Structure 1
């Protein structure tokens, strides 16, 4: 778990250094996420296109020209990801860094709530019935 914490702290540090505010959300632009997960921006865009239902507007959105200018970003299509969007994207990617980070986040979540995961799943099941 110590290595997991170290890697997660490195990811958290990266996010804290690169996060920006737009539309009332704390976001990372797709170029920073590409660096974080060691993938191409094109791979991010393909993932969004293949899985649109996984990325509602409060997870990821396309920046308009004014927003790109305000954030000092250049490019045609620049997507902004909120924290839930960053996590969802990481679960869809195949890079070693993304997979390792997702596994560590899941382990950290489960470790922080011993015995609660099954309770939560049971409650969700009951709500859906």
Structure 2
């Protein structure tokens, strides 16, 4: 299973990295209703920090910016699963495909944690360098910090290219 296929489906919602029930169902090769039925039958295994239901606003936001293959804005309810919830799903869905997908999902979560940790480490080292070389490289540090900052959704849609100010056309009247 391609790593990108899993990585692109992990969302950050309410400060937690989660996967949508519809995306998990597709990865596991089952229908979403079957996955949700299995969860409902084993609800005691899925406390709120393992699985929660999205609000309408969260559904709309994901459907606008998400990469899910399902048209979410028409869904009535969507459950999302944290890393622990995905691990718990392995005890509920026992097909060979579900086991293999679960292993890959766990690896994707580990990669994300490593990426976040390395980013935090890089930020810490940059601050130490800033203190040491203060004013000498101020512009360089500002440029690096700008490159490290997360991309704002509004910035993605920003128009790029050169813009000129509209100048009034020179008058065509001749002076005598």
- The bucket for the TM-score relative to the shorter chain is 0.5 to 0.7
RMSD across aligned C-alpha pairs, in angstroms?
A: 2.0
Identify the match of residue 38 of structure 2 among 47, 50, 72.
47
Q: Helix, strand or coil for the counterpart of 1:46?
A: helix
The CA deviation string for residues 33-92 of structure 1, in whole angstroms up to 9 with x for no partner, is 011111110111111211111111111111110110111123012101111111111221
Partner of 2:61: 70
Structure 1: tracts of 5 or more residues without a match: 1-6, 109-129
Corresponding residue for residue 7 of structure 2: 16
The answer for unaligned runs of 5 or more in structure 2 is: 64-71, 108-176
For residue 76 of structure 1, give the secondary structure of its aligned residue in structure 2: coil
- How many angstroms apart in 2 are the aligned matches of 1:82 and 1:49? 16
- Aligned-residue offset at 1:101: 4.2
Q: In structure 2, how many angstroms separate the alpha carbons of the residues matched to 1:15 and 1:82? A: 13
**1:20 aligned counterpart, secondary structure:** strand
Give the TM-score, by structure 1 length.
0.65
Q: 1-side partners of 2:14 and 2:25: how far apart?
A: 22
Q: Which of structure 1's runs of 4+ aligned residues deviate more than 2 A?
A: 12-15, 99-102
CA distance in 2, matches of 1:14, 1:58: 24
**Which of the pair has more CA radius of gyration?**
2
TM-score by length of 2: 0.49
Q: For residues 10-41 of structure 1, what are the alpha-carbon distances to aligned partners after superposition, in whole Å with 9 as ceiling and x for unaligned?
A: 4x533211111111111111111011111110
Corresponding position of 1:123: none
Q: How many residues get paired?
A: 96
